[in-house]
Amino acid sequence: MPARKETKAPPVMADADIAIVRIAPETSFKNKAYEALKEAILKMDIYATPEQVMLDERALSERLGVSRTPIREAIAMLEQDGFVKTVPRRGIVVVRRTKTEIVDMIRAWAALESMAARLITTTARKKDITALRDFFKDFGKDRLPQDHVEEYSKANIAFHQALISLSESPVLVDMTNDILLHVRGYRQLTIGRKDRTATSLPEHLAIIEALEARDTELAEKRARDHTLGLAAYVEAHGQELFS
Amino acid sequence: MPARKETKAPPVMADADIAIVRIAPETSFKNKAYEALKEAILKMDIYATPEQVMLDERALSERLGVSRTPIREAIAMLEQDGFVKTVPRRGIVVVRRTKTEIVDMIRAWAALESMAARLITTTARKKDITALRDFFKDFGKDRLPQDHVEEYSKANIAFHQALISLSESPVLVDMTNDILLHVRGYRQLTIGRKDRTATSLPEHLAIIEALEARDTELAEKRARDHTLGLAAYVEAHGQELFS
DNA sequence: TTCTGGTATTTGGTATGCCAAAAATATTCG
DNA sequence: CGAATATTTTTGGCATACCAAATACCAGAA
């Protein structure tokens, strides 16, 4: 039945197309719990507290007002994401990555982003590329990024996500977002550092220029080297953040 | 209690260090179910059957001899992996990727592998790089890959996995393996194609040569272009595989 | 006081049972 | 006979109860 049949004389009322208010089953408790726990974990700043953070199924189920079943399913999903690790008969620990792991992740990020840059040079529209500059329109010689670190940090993340999105590659987008969720944890403590922030903006602009010039190789190289630079920075200056 | 106390006169027996046979809790039903289902899905050749494959919780729990609870947790994990998608009150469907999605995945693979190649040129040992040739030692002018497609296909996958492993980057390894699991489904129908197989071997050897020469940029380029070539091939010749 | 042994408690793992929505099937009416 | 409708069945979602392992706690002995 490809098209909608137009009944000529509706007996009682004109059946459909009247504000179908999204009967959608809303999302299940399992998914709600997943989102809630994920957000909670991401904003708890794991690297600030010295002792390892643990979760308790029963406490969570009570807090969220649901039974343990959907909680456990959500935990299983979070474990697949690498955010928690459940130890049988011991508890559920929120995973803390080591510096080495973070550097490793950032390298993967660099790989994905450089591929995105490559694709963008061949498919993205000029106006969309140029629009990337808008993320930094509030910064310049009279308003230095290093003087508004927090704000610049947000713009930085937004820029990278927008950049990846331009590749129109769902896989690259999803994989990068996953990585960013893990790396973002101490973004404030690394990307936000003033010394690095100073070099960040020009590099971003240089990437945009290469993209506009449709210079595939150069765009790829600049995107890669930029993020690889962050990796090197974390590797060199991030020890104090980890145990 | 840092060190072990050496009792001078053990009354009945010399307590420990006598074959502690790993009391390990083995793995939970949840994990067993996860592994079992994952393997089953991977080997069922989803793209061969026309109608969409569906799973039934109760049937699975009966088949595996466990209750629905661990099955549901395993399903939740598989859904995170993108292997299945559960539709409320409808069923659990085994996800079939479109050609576009597969091409997209292969591009991400190319990105990760080229980064691996880059890292390898700076850290891997010469002998480990050279050892990569062993995967193809059974093929040559007298024994062409295109005449032993199935066998070459296995060697091909093994080579790529070994290559990534040489990067000593767990993140790259894991992400690539995830992708390979999805792409592998119709490996036989794409990578195995004779026309492509013919060009594959020389390209592999060229990658190895660049790695041995420690030519970072060249190794990266060759690794990238090789896998990107596969993506282009699938994009051009893979229509008949998808609906 | 300190060490030892045992007991109560905590915690994740698993099995079951029931619910509601959706689909499949049967039934009734025009 | 056909379509609208009522009924049964199927299926995932969720709550609950119980288990065993690991731990925490406590009393008694040295």
Nearest-Cα distance to chain B for A140, in Å, is 33
- For residue range B7-26, list pLDDT tens digits in order: 333 333 443 344 444 445 57
Residues B107 and B209 in one domain: yes
Query: Does the pLDDT at position B184 exceed 50?
Result: yes
Q: Pick the residue with more confidence: A6 or B197?
A: B197
> Are B108 and B90 in the same domain?
no
Please write the tens of the pLDDT for every residue from B44-82. 888 877 788 999 999 999 999 999 999 999 999 999 999
Nearest neighbour of A175 by CB, restricted to B28, B72, B108: B108
pLDDT (0 to 100) of residue B81: 95
Instruction: Give the number of A-B residue pairs with CB atoms closer than 8 Å.
Output: 78
The reply to whether A72 Cβ lies less than 7 angstroms from strand C is: yes
Which CATH number characterizes residue A55's domain? 1.10.10.10
The two three-digit tokens of residue A11, written as one number: 């007996």
C-alpha distance from A167 to closest chain B C-alpha (Å): 10
Tokens 């498919």 belong to A123
A22 part of a folded domain: no
Kindly report the number of other CB atoms within 10 A of residue B29's CB atom. Answer: 19
Per the domain annotation, does B15 fall within a domain? no
Q: Which two tokens mark B240?
A: 């008949």
- Measured distance CA(A87)–CA(B206) in Å, rounded: 45
- Residue B187 contacts residue B106 (beta carbons within 8 Å): no
User: In sequence order, which residues have a C-beta less than 8 Å from that of residue A165 and are 6 or more positions away?
Assistant: A173
**B102 to chain A nearest CA, in Å?**
9
**CB of A68 within 7 Å of some strand D atom:** yes
Q: Any idea what the CATH number is for the domain that residue B150 is in? A: 1.20.120.530
Domain count, chain B: 2
Question: Of B94, B115, B141, which residue constitutes the final position of a domain?
Answer: B94
B16 CA, C2 C1': Å apart: 23
A90 strand C contact, CB < 7 Å? yes
Asked if strand D comes closer than 7 Å to B68 Cβ, the answer is: yes
B105 and B219 co-located in one domain: yes
Higher pLDDT among residues B233 and A83, named by residue: A83
Phi, psi dihedrals of residue B27, rounded to the nearest 5°:
-100, 155
Note the pLDDT of residue A209.
Answer: 96
Orientation angle between helical segments B149-166 and B194-212, nearest 10 degrees: 30
Do B89 and B104 lie in one domain? The reply is no
- Strands lying side by side in the sheet with A91-94: A54-55, A91-94, A84-87
Pick from B133, B139, B134, B165: which is nearest to B151 by CA?
B139
Taking residues B199-203, report their average pLDDT: 88
Q: Do A169 and B108 touch (CB under 8 A)?
A: yes
Chain A residues whose C-beta sits inside 8 Å of any chain B C-beta: 25, 28, 30, 69, 72-74, 76-77, 79-81, 88-89, 101, 104-105, 107-108, 110-112, 114-115, 119, 169-172, 175, 224
pLDDT on residue A21: 43
Q: What are phi and psi of A87, to 5 degrees?
A: -105, 120
pLDDT at A12: 34
Share of chain B above pLDDT 70, in %: 81
Encoded tokens for B95: 């996800």
Domain-located, residue B13: no
Lookup: tokens for A140? 């310049």
| Alpha helices per DSSP H over chain B | 29-43, 57-64, 68-81, 99-123, 126-130, 149-166, 170-183, 187-190, 194-212, 216-237
Query: A185 and A42 in contact (C-beta within 8 Å)?
Result: yes
Question: How confident is the model at residue A189, as a pLDDT?
Answer: 53
Residue B134 has pLDDT above 50, yes or no: yes
A170 and B25: CB-CB below 8 Å? no
For residue B86, give the nucleotide whose C1' atom is nearest its CA.
D12
Crossing angle of helices A149-166 and A99-123, in 10° steps, is 50
Q: Are residues B108 and B70 part of one domain?
A: no
Residue B5 forms part of a structural domain: no
Whole-number pLDDT of residue A25:
52
Packed helices A216-237 and A194-212: angle between N→C axes, nearest 10 degrees: 170
Assess whether A103 and A86 both reside in one domain: no
Does a structural domain hold residue A194?
yes
- Domain stops at, among B94, B123, B143: B94
Q: Name chain A contacts of B183, Cβ cutoff 8 Å.
A: none
**Amino acid making up residue B12:** V
pLDDT at B3: 34
Q: Residue B89 CA to nucleotide C27 C1', Å? A: 25
pLDDT tens by residue, chain A, 243 residues: 333 333 333 333 333 333 434 444 568 999 999 999 999 999 888 887 778 899 999 999 999 999 999 999 999 999 999 999 999 888 899 999 988 999 999 999 999 999 999 999 999 999 999 999 999 888 877 776 667 777 888 888 999 999 999 999 999 999 999 999 998 876 555 554 667 777 888 999 999 999 999 999 999 999 999 999 999 988 887 655 554
Does a structural domain hold residue B34?
yes
CA B43 to chain centroid, in Å, comes to 13
Do A174 and A76 fall within a single domain?
A: no
Residue B82 beta carbon within 7 A of nucleic strand D = no
Residue contact B169–A111, C-beta within 8 A: no
- State how far the Cα of A109 lies from the Cα of A95, in Å rounded to an integer: 20
CA angle A230, A233, A235 (to 5 degrees): 110
From A94, A124, A146, the end of a domain falls on: A94
The contacts found for B67-73 with CB under 8 angstroms, 24 or more apart, are B69/A69, B70/B28, B70/B29, B70/B30, B70/B32, B70/B33, B71/B33, B72/A73, B73/A72, B73/A73, B73/A76, B73/B30, B73/B33, B73/B34
Do residue B59 and residue B160 come from a single domain? no
Domain that holds residue A63: 29-94
A162 and A191: one domain?
yes
Q: Per the CB < 8 Å rule, is A107 touching B114?
A: no
Tell me the CA–C1' distance in angstroms for A11 and D13. 38
Whether A11 CB is under 7 Å from strand C: no
pLDDT at B196: 77
| Distance of C1' in D21 from CA in A89, Å | 6
By residue count, chain B amounts to: 243
* A52 contact to strand D (CB, 7 A limit): no
Calculate mean pLDDT across residues B135-164: 83
In a domain, residue A19? The reply is: no
Beta bridge partners of A140: A143
Identify whether residues A88 and A105 lie together within a single domain.
Answer: no
Q: Which residue is nearest to nucleotide C16 (CA to C1')?
A: B67
CA–CA distances in Å: residue B182 to residues A115, B39, B43, B106, B166: 20, 12, 11, 10, 22
pLDDT at B181 > cutoff 90: yes
- The answer to whether the CB of A103 falls within 8 A of the CB of A235 is yes
Same domain, A111 and A161: yes
Q: Among B76, B111, B170, whose Cβ lies nearest the Cβ of A114?
A: B111
Q: Which pLDDT score, from 0 to 100, does residue A62 have?
A: 92
pLDDT of res. B239: 58
B92 contact to strand D (CB, 7 A limit): yes
Other beta carbons within 10 angstroms of residue A133's beta carbon come to 14
Q: Which nucleotide is nearest to B90 (CA to C1')?
A: D11
Sheet strand arrangement including B54-55: B54-55, B91-94, B84-87
Q: Are residues A132 and A35 in the same domain?
A: no
Asked whether residue B14 is domain-assigned, the answer is no
- Chain B partners of A81 at a C-beta cutoff of 8 Å? 80
